[in-house]
Amino acid sequence: MRIQFKTSYDHDMRLFPDAWTACVYGALMVVMVLLPVLLDEFFLGEITNVLIWAIGGLGLMLLTGQSGQASLGHAAFLAMGCYSNTILIEQGLPFVIAFPLAGVLTGLFGMVIAIPAIRLHGIYLAMATIAVSVLADDVIVLLEPWTGGVSGKFPEPIVIFGFEIERWSQPGRFYYLVLAVTVISTLFYRNLLRAPMGRAFAAVRDSEVSATALGVHIPRTKAIAFGLSCMITGWAGALMGYHAGTFNNETFSLVISITLLMMIVIGGLGSIHGAFLGAAVVAFLPQALSMTTDLFGGSGVAIPGLETGVFGLILILFILFEPTGIYGRWLKIRTWFELFPFARKAMFRRQKSYLKTERLR
Partner 1 sequence: MSLLEIRNATLKFGGVVAVNDLSFAIEEGEVYAIVGPNGAGKSTVFNMISRFYAPFAGQFRFDGQDLLTVRPDQVANLGIARTFQNIELFDQATVLQNLLVGRHRHRQSTLLEELFFAPRVRAEERRHRHAVEEVIEFLDLQAYRDKRIAGLPYGIRKVVELGRALASGPRLLLLDEPASGLSVEETQDMRWWIDDIRRQMGITVLMVEHDMGLVSGVCDRVLALADGARLAEGTPAEVQSDPRVIEAYLGTGAV
- Contacts with partner 1, residue ranges (CB under 8 A): 9-10, 12-13, 188, 191-192, 194-200, 202-203, 205-207, 209-218, 224, 228, 270, 350-351, 353, 355-356
Residue closer to partner 1 by CB (options 14, 34) is 14
Residue closer to partner 1 by CB (options 151, 356) is 356
Alpha-carbon dihedral of residues 277, 282, 287, 292, nearest 10 degrees? 80
How many C-beta atoms surround the C-beta of residue 87 within 10 A? 18
3-class SS letters over 320-344: HHCCCHHHHHHHHHHHHHHHCCCCC
Which residue, 86, 114, 115, is CA-closest to 102?
Answer: 86
Burial class (CB in 10 A: 0-12, 13-18, 19+), 148: buried
Q: What residues pair up with 165 in beta bridges, in sequence order?
A: 158
Residue closer to partner 1 by CB (options 248, 335) is 335
- 158's enclosing H/E stretch is strand 158-160
Q: How far is the CB of 350 from partner 1 (least distance, A)?
A: 4
Residue closer to partner 1 by CB (options 218, 319) is 218
Residues near 274 by Cβ (< 8 Å), separated by ≥ 6?
A: 57, 61, 65, 264, 267, 268, 325, 326, 327
Pure H helices in 39-94: 41-61, 74-90
**Paired sense of beta strands 158-160 and 163-165, if any:** antiparallel
Angle between helices 325-339 and 272-295 (to 10 degrees): 100
Which residue, 130, 126, 110, is CA-closest to 70?
Answer: 126
Which residue, 240, 280, 269, is CA-closest to 52?
Answer: 240
Residue closer to partner 1 by CB (options 212, 293) is 212
Say if CB 44 and CB 172 are below 8 A apart: yes
Residue closer to partner 1 by CB (options 196, 245) is 196
Residue closer to partner 1 by CB (options 113, 225) is 225
Q: How far is the CB of 346 from partner 1 (least distance, A)?
A: 12
Residue closer to partner 1 by CB (options 206, 322) is 206
Alpha-carbon dihedral of residues 202, 205, 209, 215, nearest 10 degrees? 30
CA atoms of 200 and 252, how far apart (whole Å):
31
Q: How far is the CB of 52 from partner 1 (least distance, A)?
A: 21
Q: How far is the CB of 229 from partner 1 (least distance, A)?
A: 13
Residue closer to partner 1 by CB (options 12, 156) is 12
